[in-house]
Amino acid sequence: MKIAATYDNGNIFQHFGKTEFFKVYEVEDNKVISSEVISSNGTGHGALAGLLAEQGISVLICGGIGGGAQSALAEAGIELCSGAQGDADTAVDAYLKGELVSTGVNCDHHHHEDGHSCGSHEDGHSCGGHEDGHSCGGCGGGCGSQPSITGPNVGKTCRTHYRGTFNDGTQFDSSYDRGEPLEFICGAGQMIKGFDAAVANMEVGQVMDVHLMPEEAYGMPNPDAIFTLEIEQLPGAEDLTVGQQVYLSNQYGQPFPVKVNAKDEKTITFDANHEMAGKELNFRIELVEVK
């Protein structure tokens, strides 16, 4: 089975009709065995369903999508999982585990004003939330805007093995453990800045150790991204638990992932910062192939 995710900067791209890249995951026995990033080659939304069908895609995970595109996917026999956001690898892992939360969980956040609503919390293979776990995927998620990166590998498809650790030596991710190198287009903004910049100047077969400050990785936590709401303003929020990750909607109706930080009888506190924000990261990177 093949799963495709609309892809940008390691994250789920939010506008299906303007998707420039898809990340395609080959799945066997409910596990990802390989993945690659493909280009839509400027194909319009009306033909994207055909492009995915040609690739043998069974499931599409995306953010926003229009009714026409939904119908085209249905006609092509492709299962649609819309409303997803955040790290693409994490969303696919959650889909395979049946842990994605329905878009019904989207809470209307509206700058923390009145009028909040939180739909029913359904289980099953539908989008809108994260599982507990973390799959860094080379730390492709939460990169934000990317400065220009220079080097002989920029613009080329690179395959790397890597092991990521915190400063205390704790491992948070490893392509070696998955048995499959990470593939990405160097300098295209699919990776965090420090990882991308290191690979840009490596030679095939080279192994490099890099230490990244938060500014070169997921940035620093933003205190304004932590906020508290009245539970009575969010029907359904009484079912949420501390540590759970779900999606809220901003004032434009766009979903974004948050984690429940705290909860008491009357209030619930959410944190919209990336879970790796503020952390120094260490990578041992091995450049396996450049093509």
- Residues annotated catalytic, as ranges: 162, 172-173, 192, 218, 227
Query: Token pair of 106, please?
Result: 């989207």
Is the separation of the CB atoms in 25 and 2 below 8 Å? yes
Tell me the C-alpha distance between 211 and 149, whole Å. 17
Rounded (10°) angle between helices 45-54 and 67-75: 30
- Closest C-alpha among 96, 196, 205, 212 to residue 156: 196
> Facing residues of 228 across strands?
269
For residue 179, count other CB atoms closer than 10 A to its CB.
Answer: 10
- Closest C-alpha among 16, 33, 66 to residue 24: 33
- Closest C-alpha among 269, 265, 263 to residue 225: 269
Q: Tokens 């009145």, residue?
A: 114
| DSSP code per residue over 151-195 | STTTTSEEEEEEEEE-TTS-EEEEHHHHTS-EEEETTTTSS-HHH
Is the separation of the CB atoms in 98 and 40 below 8 Å? no
The C-alpha R_g of the chain, in whole angstroms, comes to 19
